[in-house]
Structure 1
Amino acid sequence: MATDITDTAHAVEAAAVMRLLPARPRLLALGEPTHAEDTLLELRNELFRQLVEQEGYRTIAIESDCMRGRVVDDYVTSGTGTLDEAMERGFSHEWFNVSAPNRELVRWMRAYNDGRPASERVRFAGFDGPLEITHAASPRQALTALHGYLSAQVGADLLPCTEETLDRLLGTDDRWTDPAAMMDPAQSVGQSAEAGRLRLLADDLAALLDERTPHLITATSRDDWDRARLYGRTATGLLRYHYWMADTSPARMTRLVGLRDQMMADNLLAVAARGPALVHAHNSHLQREKSTMQLWEEPVEWWSAGALVSARLGEEYAFLATALGTIRHQGVDTPPPDTVEGLLYALPEDRCVIDAPRLATALAGARPAPRESPWFGYAPLDPAHLADSDGIVFVKDVPQSQRAVPQSLAGGR
């Protein structure tokens, strides 16, 4: 395919990214096509550092447990705990907390914030639900935290239940986290009478939180109220997720992946309400088009968090997809020249940022072929949706990271 695209490529730096956009977006999202590769995370760190320092972004949100992320936020904003504790307790998905680039990101955020006034500090957020590929968390932590916040500020007669009632209905946490439930809906407690009652109580508690907002912000603080709203979103989201884990219809997995991204989207919208934020996750969670994935024996498709947020925020949401040339240690070799990745691989730069809409226009008559990955953990670009992203960050070659990551986890979304 003889198409000259050299004028669409620029150095990967904050200024080049901002030139792609009509104005600074409230949420600027950087995707990745595979997880656990240090090269990509180090590039993220450098780009995000520039965007914080040069463009005034004040939150970094990544694809990790929203509840655990509070530990990291407390550490980077106020020095609560230690770096080791933040890494051990503040991340989910197993490989995140052993990632050297993630550790360096947290260390840098703490150093950046040291001595700065609260209004200038950069904050951390996990925006994924407390979910893993194999199971979902118990709603206990979020539900009891929400109840505890409200019970300290409003009269007992306004609360829909006591803490003891919640404890009795929740039962033991291992009932909720049983990994057998992901493959066998009959093992889930999500449609039990107790779970149904908890869904109503969680809804009532979240509604009470919203209707008492003026008092609660004055009596506590906006940050405390904002955190309580996180508890409410997480509790209701988890109970909804567990309900569908117990479902036996053909729509079960489609609903589960869709619910996960809905929880992500709600968390991102809450982050955006706080001010300009940077977001990092798998491309499939941030893209504007429908996402697809092969799960066990069936393909599923759903609207990603990025698609949901983009529909709400419009130009206040921007998305940069990351694409790769090779990941040779995973069997992903030089891309065919008739693919988008093959065209980008022919550029002289080892890494560059591409104006995606201009690239789509340049390739309109070329009809590039979709790239096929020999490894399940890498998702190539879809050439039919190039113009749906605001830019592409291209990395020519990804060398093997120094640490070992379990194969079952490396490609998880």
Structure 2
Amino acid sequence: MSDVIDKTRQQPDFAVQREQMVERAIRARGVRQKRVLDAMRAVKREDFLPESLREFAYEDSPLPIEGDQTISQPYIVAFMVEALNLEGGERVLEIGAGSGYAAAVLSKIAGEVYTVERIGQLAEKAAARLADLGYSNVHVLHGDGTKGWPEHMPYDAIVVAAGGPKVPDALKLQLKIGGRLVIPVGTDPTVQELVRITRVSEQDFMREDLADVRFVPLIGEEGWEAERRRVRTPKPAEPTLPELIAESSEPFAVIEEAPLDRLLGRIAEARVVLIGEATHGTSEFYRMRERITRALIERKGFRFVAIEGDWPDAARVDHYVRHMDYPPSEWTAFARFPTWMWRNAETRAFVDWLRAFNAQRKPEQRAAFHGLDLYSLYDSIRAVLKYLDEVDPKTARAARERYGCLTPWQSDPATYGHAALTGQYRSCESAVTEVLTDLMKRRAAYAEHDGERFLDAVQNAKLVTEAERYYRIMYYGSRASWNLRDSHMFETLKTLLDFYGPQSKAVVWAHNSHVGDASATEMASRGEHNLGQLCRRAYGKDCYIIGFGTHDGKVAAASDWDGPMEIKDIVPSLSSSYERMCHDSGVSKFMLPLRGAPEALKAALREPRLQRAIGVIYRPQSERASHYFQAVLPKQFDEYIWIDRTSPVQPFATHELEGMPDTYPFGL
């Protein structure tokens, strides 16, 4: 009896999780129609998942089901249903029944739901499942979804859960006048724009673009042809891509002893070297990146390191490594999520090395350490006010009043963005811009006293201005906020290069997704650009980009934003990915030159393939949908460093820093 009780206690409370999902992942992100929220609350997502995945039912992510298909992310289901503008009682057609989950949600609002599924196994299981669960107003058909279900037309609304190259004419013609069709459309089978088509007359249709999305391909007569996707042009049997990689690679056994002379020769006189990472929590990536950076500073005179980290946090490190005369800070560097990304033994080793290296050099020759990112809204406000309090108290009073607009949102700036967007709170844009304008007007007077400190104040004021805008536009979709963030990082890098002079050189540390040229990835089809693309455009061959990859191992990452760090197993790379080609080369660690590589290798690598990106969040259960994207490796990077099996970074606790000086950036 006690065993039964224990097992019962271990069962997830799906009702609580479902309510939390609706509030946090759906309502908080802008879905407001009560009937849609009620439908999402009413349908048990766990009933539509394999037993092994039910514990993940209320994570806001797509999950795999039978037939290499996925059950859509709950937010996307709610977003698409809301886009249909249902009032209740309508006749709705769904294309892509999958597990039946979205049809069940629709059935809570519509009068009748007709759903078509291409894969027989899925159609059969969905029909049985929906019947068993009592969804009597849902009807399932096994067939070509691009042809619709004309026997029951016209429809008040049609929703398509797969991405096509165009909107199928057959579906448009099955709409009522005034009916709405919501469908993902794009020229790339893996990334699309969600659009809404409204039939305004017998022949006329109105189109609206709603959001960037990623769905499985729509296969059928008016979709992506199944045979064209399955059949590939035969490749010559020899040599294979893994063999070409092995032939051109420069193997090494141990990171600390990896030969760098040829790599430094390829970098040549580049002014900007961007060094990536395939995860935000892999020890080997950090250690190899730091080793290359040391060589660039020691042997090529690189002037500063610029990281994917916040300006004020990196400034604490900079003061320490350059032995600058600053009082101890009242706050800890890199203390916000994800703390392990920079507060780890690998970064600490580099910081300690850089301080020792700089101790032997004149102050004007010391290598600096800066941050490029824009998340530190309130630390930057504090830094601006502290600077103005010292150099111009009158202007400081005005700045404090202007920044006061943001004070109510200090603990959660994203909430400010939503409030400003919905009109519940005034925008602070003009107020924060005025502070930056005042600083720039007084540039000559302020910089005369201390150019370094003025640079710091201006960059913090710019960060506040951009961060205020970032948190407002993040609710418009990923494209706008992503582009603003990477543009800010690029402009900060340019400012630093200008400040240190025309002969200065920079090393950039950031994720592959930021440093690898976005124009060579599916990001371009979404209208996104990134730091690497902007650097290539500005510096041409004087920009050298290095990417990293791994097959499996362990990584430090969280399951959700603001969640605790976990040590997670990295799932072995997919068979169709660049990572699997590198793994199959049989070389466990290597550098692969891509700029000037043999033509046979470049030609083989030019075929777009999947590439993995693990950030601070890693969700292995939905890895294909959450962590892979299309890329063309030799156009994305100039060099690719491979480490087949990797291990997690090593975070440190504050007590490990006992005895360090008060100015030590990782302490209090």
Q: Same fold (TM over 0.5)?
A: yes
Residue 160 of structure 1 contacts residue 204 of structure 1 at CA under 8 Å; is this kept in 2? no
1:89 to 304, 327, 333: 333
Q: Deviations for 1:327-378, whole angstroms, at most 9, x for unmatched residues?
A: 3662433664x75434433556432221113448323554757247694499
**1:227 Cα offset (Å):** 0.7
In structure 1, what is the equivalent of residue 105 of structure 2? none
1:279 to 508, 520, 524: 508
1:171 to 400, 407, 424: 407
Mark the CA change 1:288 to 1:365 in structure 2 (over 3 Å): closer, same or farther: closer
Q: Under a length normalisation based on structure 1, what TM-score does the superposition of the two structures give?
A: 0.77
Distance 1:363 1:379 in 2: 25
1:142 to 355, 380, 385: 380
Name the Cα RMSD after superposition: 3.7
In structure 1, what is the equivalent of residue 593 of structure 2? 355
Residue 160 of structure 1 contacts residue 201 of structure 1 at CA under 8 Å; is this kept in 2? no
Distance 2:344 2:301 in 1: 26
**1:151 Cα offset (Å):** 6.5
**1:160 Cα offset (Å):** 10
Residue 72 of structure 1 contacts residue 90 of structure 1 at CA under 8 Å; is this kept in 2? no
**1:71 Cα offset (Å):** 0.9
Mark the CA change 1:280 to 1:364 in structure 2 (over 3 Å): closer, same or farther: closer
The more displaced of 266-275 and 317-326 is: 266-275
In structure 1, what is the equivalent of residue 572 of structure 2? 333
Corresponding letter in the other structure for 1:304: N
1:391 to 639, 646, 651: 639
Mark the CA change 1:79 to 1:190 in structure 2 (over 3 Å): closer, same or farther: farther
Q: Residue 36 of structure 1: SS of its match in structure 2?
A: coil
1:205 equivalent to 2:442? Answer: no
In structure 2, what is the equivalent of residue 19 of structure 1? 265
Distance 1:360 1:379 in 2: 30
Summarize the alignment of residues 305-320 of structure 1 with structure 2, pairs less than 5 Å apart: 305-320=531-546
In structure 2, what is the equivalent of residue 133 of structure 1? none
**1:399 Cα offset (Å):** 3.6
The more displaced of 28-37 and 42-51 is: 42-51
Distance 2:452 2:650 in 1: 38
1:8 to 224, 245, 248: 248
Q: Residue 445 of structure 2: SS of its match in structure 1?
A: helix
Corresponding letter in the other structure for 1:202: V
Q: Deviations for 1:238-287, whole angstroms, at most 9, x for unmatched residues?
A: 11112224x5xxx4332122222222222222233322121111100112
Distance 1:86 1:347 in 2: 51
**1:153 Cα offset (Å):** 4.7
Mark the CA change 1:155 to 1:79 in structure 2 (over 3 Å): closer, same or farther: closer
Mark the CA change 1:202 to 1:340 in structure 2 (over 3 Å): closer, same or farther: same
% identity of equivalent residues: 19
The more displaced of 101-110 and 263-272 is: 263-272
1:35 to 280, 295, 316: 280
**1:212 Cα offset (Å):** 3.3
**1:7 Cα offset (Å):** 5.1
**1:161 Cα offset (Å):** 7.0
The more displaced of 200-209 and 359-368 is: 359-368
Q: Residue 89 of structure 1: SS of its match in structure 2?
A: coil
Residue 13 of structure 1 contacts residue 50 of structure 1 at CA under 8 Å; is this kept in 2? no
Distance 2:522 2:442 in 1: 40
Residue 611 of structure 2 contacts residue 629 of structure 2 at CA under 8 Å; is this kept in 1? no
Mark the CA change 1:64 to 1:165 in structure 2 (over 3 Å): closer, same or farther: same
Residue 391 of structure 2 contacts residue 446 of structure 2 at CA under 8 Å; is this kept in 1? yes
Corresponding letter in the other structure for 1:262: S
**1:26 Cα offset (Å):** 2.0
Summarize the alignment of residues 128-277 of structure 1 with structure 2, pairs less than 5 Å apart: 128-130=373-375, 137=376, 139-143=377-381, 145-146=383-384, 149-150=387-388, 153=391, 156=394, 162-166=398-402, 168-174=404-410, 177=412, 181=415, 186=418, 188-189=419-420, 196=427, 198-218=428-448, 220-245=449-474, 247=475, 251-273=476-498, 274=500, 275-277=504-506
Q: Deviations for 1:279-301, whole angstroms, at most 9, x for unmatched residues?
A: 111100112124668xxxxx966
In structure 2, what is the equivalent of residue 410 of structure 1? none
**1:150 Cα offset (Å):** 4.9
For structure 2, list consecutive stretches of 5 or more residues without a partner in the other structure. 1-237, 253-257, 555-567, 613-618, 653-668
**1:116 Cα offset (Å):** 2.1
Residue 315 of structure 2 contacts residue 370 of structure 2 at CA under 8 Å; is this kept in 1? yes
Residue 72 of structure 1 contacts residue 124 of structure 1 at CA under 8 Å; is this kept in 2? yes
Corresponding letter in the other structure for 2:274: A
Mark the CA change 1:170 to 1:369 in structure 2 (over 3 Å): closer, same or farther: closer
**1:309 Cα offset (Å):** 2.7
Q: Under a length normalisation based on structure 2, what TM-score does the superposition of the two structures give?
A: 0.50
Q: Deviations for 1:223-242, whole angstroms, at most 9, x for unmatched residues?
A: 11211221121011111112
Residue 57 of structure 1 contacts residue 278 of structure 1 at CA under 8 Å; is this kept in 2? yes
Residue 38 of structure 1 contacts residue 99 of structure 1 at CA under 8 Å; is this kept in 2? no
Q: Residue 209 of structure 1: SS of its match in structure 2?
A: helix
Mark the CA change 1:240 to 1:126 in structure 2 (over 3 Å): closer, same or farther: same
Q: How many residues align?
A: 376
Q: Residue 609 of structure 2: SS of its match in structure 1?
A: coil
Corresponding letter in the other structure for 1:287: G
Q: Residue 254 of structure 1: SS of its match in structure 2?
A: helix
Higher-Rg member (1/2): 2
Mark the CA change 1:190 to 1:78 in structure 2 (over 3 Å): closer, same or farther: farther
Q: Residue 35 of structure 1: SS of its match in structure 2?
A: coil
Distance 2:312 2:421 in 1: 20
For structure 1, list consecutive stretches of 5 or more residues without a partner in the other structure. 131-136, 294-298, 405-413
In structure 2, what is the equivalent of residue 409 of structure 1? none
2:294 to 49, 60, 71: 49
**1:59 Cα offset (Å):** 1.3
In structure 2, what is the equivalent of residue 68 of structure 1? 313
2:322 to 74, 77, 95: 77
Residue 272 of structure 2 contacts residue 506 of structure 2 at CA under 8 Å; is this kept in 1? yes
Moved over 6 A (4+): 79-83
Distance 2:572 2:440 in 1: 52
Distance 1:86 1:279 in 2: 28
Mark the CA change 1:56 to 1:148 in structure 2 (over 3 Å): closer, same or farther: same
Mark the CA change 1:342 to 1:97 in structure 2 (over 3 Å): closer, same or farther: closer
Distance 1:168 1:380 in 2: 42
Corresponding letter in the other structure for 1:259: L
Distance 1:334 1:385 in 2: 16
Distance 1:192 1:201 in 2: 17
Mark the CA change 1:372 to 1:59 in structure 2 (over 3 Å): closer, same or farther: closer
